[in-house]
Amino acid sequence: MYDLFVAVVIKIYNLTAGLPLLKAVNESAAATSGEISYFTNTGIIIQLMLISLILFSVVCWTIIIFKVVMIKRAKRETKLFLDIFWTSKSLDEIFNSSEDLTASPLAGIFRSGFVELDKIQKSKDRRRRRKKKDSNLTHITTELDGIDNISRSLKNAQNTECVYLERYIPFLATTGSTTPFIGLFGTVWGLMVSFQQIGLKGSSNLAVVAPGIAGALVTTAAGLAAAIPAVLAYNYFINEVSLLETEMENFSFEFLNIIDRHLFANPDGK
């Protein structure tokens, strides 16, 4: 009899030993279902706002990751290109080496200027083969026109690279300035609905007021959660793009000066 009693006690203990874990699982499931029901009971307006804020946040983080990778690659390949540019002995060698550096804005600017320079050199070669005799003034005017063409080509390439680097960044600014107001509007709307429910139910106790107010404040929190990373990322990317634009501007002047000296030092293209 005693052995049977001990066996029953041990069996009960073994069965009840897992109750804390079972209780935790039940509480977690209840919390999850509560959050789901909590979201579904907030109203269609707040639901749409929350969904839009989530979409804003997802798109922003996608842009942030994309831009971080793109700018890091651009800076890395720009460094490689500058090493090639200042150590190579000919422009043709630089051009061939820069074709693989597609992410470097400086390499893109160089290729554009080199193509224009090549056109000018070929035009000079055709004139020389036709053995036309130009006066000194006509020769200088032609050289100046060629330099202007190269300068315009470098400027156009620089603008193209700037547009590419700044792509998608304005969306971060839009998110940073818009989502807090979307969240605030959701909060105001939720409070209006909560007070309306208080008036209809004729009760203002915490159990009646708290769910509506909490639901209203969720939109503000979601708006700030989307806006804060967007603003930080926007300021970071604008600074990085500005540094790259300055580097492009300096390189354009340096490259143009090199071409200028080359053209006047070798007027016949030799």
Which pLDDT tens digit goes with each residue over 81-123?
Answer: 999 999 888 888 889 988 889 899 999 999 998 888 888 777 7
Q: Are 97 and 111 part of one and the same domain?
A: yes
Domain annotation covers residue 270: no
* CA angle, 104 then 110 then 113, to 5°: 145
Q: What is the DSSP string of 9-21?
A: HHHHHHHHTTHHH
Q: How confident is the model at residue 228 (pLDDT cuts 50, 70, 90)?
A: very high
Q: Are 183 and 93 part of one and the same domain?
A: yes
Q: Are 136 and 199 part of one and the same domain?
A: yes
Domain extent at residue 207: 42-265
Lowest-confidence pick of 45-49, 123-127, 221-225? 123-127
Which pLDDT tens digit goes with each residue over 148-204?
Answer: 888 888 999 999 999 999 999 999 999 999 999 999 988 888 888 777 777 776 666
Output the six-digit token pair for 43.
């109203």
Q: Looking at the 3D structure of the chain, how many domains does it have? A: 2
Q: Are 89 and 20 part of one and the same domain?
A: no
* pLDDT for the residue numbered 227: 95
The pLDDT of 207-236, averaged and rounded, is 85
How many residues are recorded in the chain?
270
* pLDDT for the residue numbered 49: 87
HSE, side-chain direction, 13 A CA sphere, residue 104: 25
* pLDDT for the residue numbered 177: 93
* CA–CA dist 270, 220 (Å, integer): 70
Name which residue leads in pLDDT, 158 or 12. 158
* CA–CA dist 55, 39 (Å, integer): 16
Q: Are 15 and 51 part of one and the same domain?
A: no
Q: Are 28 and 146 part of one and the same domain?
A: no
**Is residue 217 within a helix (H) or strand (E), and if so which, with residue range?**
helix 206-265
